[in-house]
Structure 1
Amino acid sequence: MLEPFARDALPRRLLQLYLGLLLYGFSMALMIKSGLGLDPWDVLHEGVADRTPLSFGTVVILTGVLVLLAWIPLRQRLGLGTVSNVIVIGVAADVSLWVLPAPALMALRIAFMVFGVALNAVATAAYIGARFGPGPRDGLMTGLVRRTGRSVRLVRTSIEVTVLATGWLLGGTVGVGTVLYAVGIGPLVHILLPRLTVSEPTKPAENVRVTAGPA
C-alpha cells in the first residue's frame, strides 16, 4: 500500500515534475535564442554542440549521462526526477529551439533573456519541489559536498567556473545573460521553492504523545 504522502500527492508531484522539466528546457531555448549569454552548464552544452554534429538537446542528455556516471563513486542515489531530468530537458530544449524564432530586435532579445531566466527559476523550483530526487548536476554538487566536506558555495562555484571556462573556450555564448543568471537564479529559486515544495504528511494527532510536564 502506498504511504499517505505518495497516495495523496502523487498526481500533483508527477505533474509538477514533468511540467517543471518541460519548462526548464523551454527556458534554455529562450536564453539561447536571445544570444545574450547562457548559464554555465549551457555555455558548455552549446560549445560542444557547435563543435559536433549533435543537437543542443542531445548534448544536454549525453552530458547528464556522463555526470550520472560520476555519481557512482559518490554513492548518490537515483530518483525518478534524476532520470527524467536527463531525458526530458534535452528533448524539450530541442523542440523549443525548433519552434521558437530568433528575434532580431534587441528589445525582444532582452525579453527572451529575462523571461528565460525567470522561467528557469520557476521550473527549477517546480521539479525540485516535486521531491523525486535531484537533477544530475545538482546531485554531483551535493555528492561532492558530502564526500569532501567542503562548503556548498565552494563546490558549486568550482564546478560552474570549470564548465563555464570550458564552454567558453569551445565557443559557447557568455554575456550579460550569464551574469543575470548568476545573480538572479539563486534569490528567485529561494523565494519560489517553499511555495512549490510538496509537503510531507504530518503524523496523526492521536499518534503523538503529549505530556503536560516531566514524566
Structure 2
Amino acid sequence: MIKKIISTMVRLFFGLFLYAFGLVLAINSNIGLSPWDVFGQGISKTLNITMGHATISVGFVIILINFMLGERIGWGTIFNMIFIGEFMDILMFNRIIPVSTNIVISVIMMFCGVMVIALATFLYIGAELGAGPRDGLMVALTRKTNKSVRVVRSIIEISALVVGYLLGGFVGIGTLIMAFSVGHAVQFIFKVFKFDVSKVKHRYILDDILFVKNSLYQINE
C-alpha cells in the first residue's frame, strides 16, 4: 500500500515538473507563448504578478468551472494548480532553460515543449488522483460532447489564445504551433501508451474524506 502511494506521488510530481518544463521550453523558444501562457501573461500584466502565480490563479478559476461541469476534484488537481506554477517560476528565475536566439533552435524547442507537455499529461492523469484544472476541463468537455481529445483540446487552446491576446499576451508563430499541435500530441501519446482518458478511475478528495470518516466511525465502535 505504502509503495503504491509513493510510486503514484512520484509519477504525479514528475508529470507536474515535466509539464512546467515543457511550458518553459515553449516560452524560452522566444517565438511566441503557448495559448495558456498568452492567457497567463495577460493575467500577469493585469494583476502585476509572476507568470507562475498567474498560472495558479487561472487554475483556481478553472477548477471552479470544472466543479460546475460535474468534474470531481482530486489531490492531483490541487497539486497541479499549485506546483506547475511554482516549478515554472523556479525554472525561469534560475534560468535553467536558456532563451533561444536562433530560429531553428527555437522551432526545435517549441516542438520539444509540445511533446514534453503531452507526455506530462499522460503521466499525471495516469496517476489517477484527479486531472489538472485544464485537463480536467478537457476531460469534462470530452465526456459531455463525445468529441475527440484532439478536437476538444484544440478548441480549449484556441479559446485561451484569443482571450490571452485580448489581455495583452504575446503571440507569435510558436503560439500557433502550440495551439494546433498540443491536442494532436496528447492524442498521439495516449495512443502510444494505449491510454483511454475516458476510462480513468480517479481517486478524489471526497473519497479520502469518506474513507477517513468511515475509519474513525469503525474505531469508535
TM-score range for the pair, normalised by the shorter chain length? 0.7 to 0.9
SS at match of 1:152: coil
In the alignment, the residues of structure 2 paired with residue 19 and residue 110 of structure 1 have an alpha-carbon distance, to the nearest angstrom, of 25
Aligned pair 1:99/2:94, yes or no? yes
Indicate conservation of the 8 Å contact 1:125/1:196, yes or no: no
Q: Is 1:190–2:187 an aligned residue pair?
A: yes
- How far apart in 2 are the matches of 1:145 and 1:190? 12
TM-score normalised by L of structure 2? 0.74
- Asked if structure 1 preserves the Cα contact closer than 8 Å seen for 2:154 and 2:179, the reply is no
Contact 2:153 2:183 in 1 (8 A): no
Question: What is the CA distance between 1:50 and its match in structure 2?
Answer: 2.9
Partners of 1:69 and 1:187 in 2: CA distance: 26
Task: Report the AA paired with residue 27 of structure 1.
Answer: G
Q: CA RMSD in A?
A: 2.7
When residues 111 and 156 of structure 1 are mapped into structure 2, their CA distance, relative to the original with a 3 A threshold, is closer
Segment drifting more, 97-106 vs 188-197: 188-197
Mark the CA change 1:196 to 1:86 in structure 2 (over 3 Å): closer, same or farther.
farther
Map of 1:29 onto structure 2 = 24
1:79 corresponds in structure 2 to 74
1:18-65 per-residue CA deviation (whole Å, 9 max, x = no partner) reads 001011111111111112123322210122213332000000001111
- The SS at the match of 1:84 is helix
Q: Residues 128-175 of structure 1, C-alpha deviation per residue, up to 9 Å, x if partnerless? A: 1222111112223433555xx434357555543332111012222323
- Aligned positions of 1:20-59 closer than 5 A: 20-59=15-54
- Go from structure 1 to structure 2 and tell me whether the alpha carbon gap of 1:150 and 1:24 turns closer, same or farther (over 3 Å shift): same
Larger radius of gyration: 1
User: Which of 127, 130, 136 is matched with 1:130 structurally?
Assistant: 127
Q: TM-score, normalised by structure 1?
A: 0.76
Give 1:196 shift: 8.6
Q: Which amino acid aligns with 2:187?
A: H
- Which letter maps to 2:186? V
Say which SS state the counterpart of residue 47 (structure 2) adopts. Answer: coil
Comparing 14-23 with 42-51, which one deviates more in the overlay?
Answer: 42-51
Per-residue deviation at 1:12?
A: 2.2
Aligned residue in 1 for 2:159: 162
Query: In the superposition, relative to structure 1, how do residues 188 and 143 fare at CA in structure 2: closer, same or farther (>3 Å)?
Result: closer
Equivalenced residues, count: 192
Q: Contact 1:113/1:177 (CA < 8 Å) preserved in 2?
A: yes
> Residue in 2 aligned with 1:113?
110
CA contact (8 A) 2:40 2:51 kept: yes
Which runs of 4 or more aligned residues in structure 1 lie more than 4 Å from their structure 2 counterparts after TM superposition? Answer: 153-158
Identity of aligned residues (%): 35
